[in-house]
Amino acid sequence: MGNIFHPALTTFSGMTDLLYLRDCYLREFEAIVINVKDEGIVLDKTAFYPEGGGQPSDSGWIKWGMHRSQVKNVLKKDEHVYHVVEGLMPSKGTLVRGIIDWEKRYKHMRYHTALHILAGVVYHLYNSTITGSQISEDKARIDFTLEDLGKEKVERIEFEANKIVDEGRDVKIKFIPREELVNNLQLIRIRPELIPNLPVLRVVEIEGFDAQLDGGTHVSNTREVGRIKILKTVNKGKFNKRLEIVLM
Ligand SMILES: [Zn+2]
């Protein structure tokens, strides 16, 4: 969602090139182990998404030689990306093959894009902005500013969101210089002081509909999201409402 939920907006974090920021569909990659620490192993590049921005960590496997260990969790700490490995650990300097648990990741991508669609819909309909979100493999939730959210509004939001799905809009990842964004604020709809102070920022754009500063992984076309079903609403305060969704 907005930049406050996504700290990862540059392509490097610490010493690690974050491959998933450029190519969300990369399922396997080769990398060199550059550090082995208590927190986990650090690679020179990775396609594993580290937990953050309401999107859970990827899991999967690393292989080297005759060995194969499970990557249980991936986390970012002090700008370093640590792969938490169960079983045998590769030593520093080893060339490894990383394999993403794609079934799980692809669900995260579908849910993440679904939340961007909902963010765009509530903004266009009610001028609401997003205050929080969380994704899992089988559901997601999004909080936004709105005073009243009755059945009629929920039905309208669901209808408009599925219209965007059916329109099959491209979802594009762009790297845009900060200066260009500051001069084009209506694109990402945030105050200039909230734009992180980085020379280039990553923007996820649902073509002709919505754009967000974003470090998450996304499908490349809204049609891949599938049917969005709003399961329930939760009142999170006078001006804060939650939608819980599932994808069919
Ligand atoms: Zn997002």
Q: How far is the CA of 91 from the centre of ligand 1 (A)?
A: 34
pLDDT at 111: 98
pLDDT above 50 (res 211): yes
Structure-token match 């496997």, residue found: 61
Q: What is the mean pLDDT of the chain?
A: 92
pLDDT at 232: 96
pLDDT at 210: 94
Name the CATH architecture for the domain at 105-247.
2-Layer Sandwich (3.30)
To 10 degrees, the CA torsion angle through 28, 173, 45, 55?
A: -80
Read off the pLDDT of each residue in 171-189 and give the average, rounded to a whole number. 88
pLDDT at 4: 38
- Asked which of 1-10, 144-153, 186-195 is least confident by mean pLDDT, the reply is 1-10
Name the CATH architecture for the domain at 3-101.
Beta Barrel (2.40)
pLDDT at 8: 46
Short-list 62, 105, 104, 65, CA closest to 87: 62
Short-list 162, 155, 154, CA closest to 242: 154
pLDDT at 10: 61
Read off the pLDDT of each residue in 163-189 and give the average, rounded to a whole number. 91
Read off the pLDDT of each residue in 7-35 and give the average, rounded to a whole number. 86
Percent of the chain with pLDDT over 70: 96
Q: Show me where the domains of the chain are located.
A: 3-101, 105-247
Amino acid at 6: H
Q: Mind listing the pLDDT tens digit for each residue in 62-77?
A: 999 999 999 999 999 9
Q: How far is the CA of 118 from the centre of ligand 1 (A)?
A: 11
Q: Are 21 and 8 in contact (CB under 8 A)?
A: yes
| Region of 172 on the Ramachandran plot (φ > 0 left; ψ -120 to 50 alpha; else beta) | beta
Q: How far is the CA of 117 from the centre of ligand 1 (A)?
A: 10
Beta-bridge partners for 228: 247
Percent of the chain with pLDDT over 90: 82
Sort 187 into a burial class: Cβ within 10 Å, 0-12 / 13-18 / 19+. middle
Q: How confident is the model at residue 79 (pLDDT cuts 50, 70, 90)?
A: confident
Q: How far is the CA of 62 from the centre of ligand 1 (A)?
A: 27
Q: Do 3-101 and 105-247 agree at the fold level? A: no
pLDDT at 9: 55
Q: Mind listing the pLDDT tens digit for each residue in 108-142?
A: 999 999 999 999 999 999 999 999 999 999 999 99
Q: How far is the CA of 27 from the centre of ligand 1 (A)?
A: 20
Angle at 23 between CA 62 and CA 91, to 5 degrees: 25
Q: How far is the CA of 214 from the centre of ligand 1 (A)?
A: 5
Q: How far is the CA of 108 from the centre of ligand 1 (A)?
A: 11
Amino acid at 170: D
Q: How far is the CA of 6 from the centre of ligand 1 (A)?
A: 7
Beta-bridge partners for 74: 83
Q: How confident is the model at residue 11 (pLDDT cuts 50, 70, 90)?
A: confident
Q: Mind listing the pLDDT tens digit for each residue in 24-63?
A: 999 999 999 999 999 999 999 999 999 998 999 999 999 9
Q: In sequence order, what are the residues at sequence separation of 6 or more whose Cβ sits closer than 8 angstroms to the Cβ of residue 178? A: 195, 197, 198, 199, 200, 201
Helices 102-126, 151-166: crossing angle, 10 deg rounding: 120
Amino acid at 223: R
Q: How far is the CA of 51 from the centre of ligand 1 (A)?
A: 12
Strands, DSSP E only, in the chain? 12-13, 16-18, 28-37, 40-43, 45-46, 60-64, 67-77, 80-86, 95-100, 130-135, 140-145, 171-177, 200-206, 210-213, 228-235, 240-247
pLDDT at 192: 82
